[in-house]
Copies of this chain bind each other. A is one copy, B any other.
Amino acid sequence: MVDTAVRPVSTPEPERASHAAEPRIDQAAVGAALLGTWADVRRQARQMIKDSAFWKVDGLTIHDHRERVFGQLQLLVDAGVSGVAYPTEYGGRADNGANIAGFEELVLADPSLQIKAGVQWGLFGAAIQQLGTKKHHDLWLDDVRELKLPGAFAMTETGHGSDVAAIGTTATYDVETAEFVIHTPFRGAWKDYLGNAAVHGRAATVFAQLITGGVNYGVHCFFVPIRDEAGAFLPGVGGEDDGVKGGLNGIDNGRLHFDQVRVPRENLLNRYGDVAADGTYSSDIPSPGRRFFTMLGALVQGRISLDGAATTGTALALKIAVTYANQRRQFDGGTPEGELTLFDYGKHRRRLIPRIATVYAQAFAHDEFLKKFDGVFSGRTDTPQEREDLETLAAALKPLSTWNALETIQEAREACGGAGFLAENRLVGLHADLDVYVTFEGDNNILLQLVGKRLLTDFATQFKGADAAKLARYAVGQVAGRAFHGAGLRQIGQAFVDAGSTARSVEYGLRGERQHELLAGRVQQMVTDVATRLRPAAKLDATAAAELFSDNQADLIAAARAHAELLQWEAFTDGLALIDDEDSRQVLTWLRDLFGLQLIEKNLAWYLIHGRLSTHRAASVSKYIDRLCARLRHHAQDLVDAWGFEPEHVRAPIASGAERARQDEARAYYRDLAASGVAPVTEKSLGKKKR
Contacts and interface: CB of A to CB of B under 8 A. Distances in A.
A444 B419 CA distance: 15
B553 A347 contact: yes
Interface stretch (A27-35, A122-130, A180-188, A574-582): A180-188
Interface in A313-356: 330-337, 339-340, 344-347, 350
A16 B243 contact: no
A550 B344 contact: yes
A276 interface: no
Nearest to A432: B432
A279 interface: no
A440 B506 CA distance: 42
Given A214-B681, A615-B609, A346 B554 contact: yes
B665 A186 contact: yes
A245 B160 CA distance: 34
Contact of A59 (B218, B243, B616, B626): B243
Given A245-B422, A608-B609, A682-B216, A554 B189 contact: no
Given A346-B552, A680-B211, A188 B432 contact: no
Interface stretch (A221-229, A380-388, A410-418, A462-470): A410-418
A253 to B, nearest CB: 8
Q: Which of A192, A347, A681 counts the most chain B CB atoms within 10 A? A: A347
A663 B188 contact: yes
Contact of A439 (B242, B421, B678): B421
Given A242-B422, A680-B211, A550 B336 contact: no
B666 A345 contact: no
A615 B436 contact: no
A596 interface: no
Given A336-B542, A413-B246, A439 B420 contact: yes
Contacts of A347: 445, 553-554, 557
Given A61-B59, A330-B163, A350-B554, A665 B615 contact: no
Interface string A14-50: 0010000000000000000000000000000000000
Q: Which of A159, A554, A605 counts the most chain B CB atoms within 10 A? A: A605
B682 A215 contact: yes
A217 interface: yes
A105 B409 CA distance: 29
B418 A439 contact: yes
A208 interface: no
Interface in A150-174: 156, 158-163, 166, 168
Interface stretch (A92-100, A198-206, A423-431, A507-515): A423-431
Given A215-B680, A488-B615, A158 B662 contact: yes
Q: Which of A185, A429, A543 counts the most chain B CB atoms within 10 A? A: A543
A406 interface: yes
Contacts of A350: 554
A278 interface: no
Contact of A161 (B59, B417, B422): B417
A550 B346 contact: yes
A683 interface: yes
Nearest to A681: B215
A555 B420 CA distance: 25
Given A333-B542, A609-B618, A680-B211, A193 B158 contact: no
A336 B488 CA distance: 44
Contacts of A542: 333-336
A604 interface: yes
A485 interface: yes
Given A330-B163, A344-B550, A605-B605, A666 B214 contact: no
B417 A406 contact: no
Given A161-B418, A335-B546, A611-B615, A188 B666 contact: yes
Q: Which of A418, A443, A684 counts the most chain B CB atoms within 10 A? A: A418
Interface string A438-453: 1110011100000000
Contact of A550 (B163, B332, B345, B552): B345
Contacts of A192: 418
Contacts of A410: 406, 435
Interface of A: 16, 58-59, 61-62, 156, 158-163, 166, 168, 185-189, 192-193, 209, 211, 214-218, 242-247, 281, 288, 330-337, 339-340, 344-347, 350, 406, 410, 413-414, 417-424, 427-429, 431-432, 435-436, 438-440, 443-445, 485-486, 488, 491, 495, 542-543, 545-547, 550-554, 557, 601, 604-605, 608-609, 611, 615-616, 618-619, 626, 630, 662-663, 665-666, 669, 678, 680-684, 686
4 closest Cβ pairs, A-B complex: A246-B428, A604-B605, A244-B423, A346-B550
20 contacts: A161-B330, A188-B663, A192-B418, A245-B421, A245-B423, A246-B422, A246-B428, A334-B542, A340-B546, A345-B550, A346-B554, A347-B554, A350-B554, A414-B438, A421-B436, A421-B439, A551-B626, A551-B630, A605-B605, A609-B619
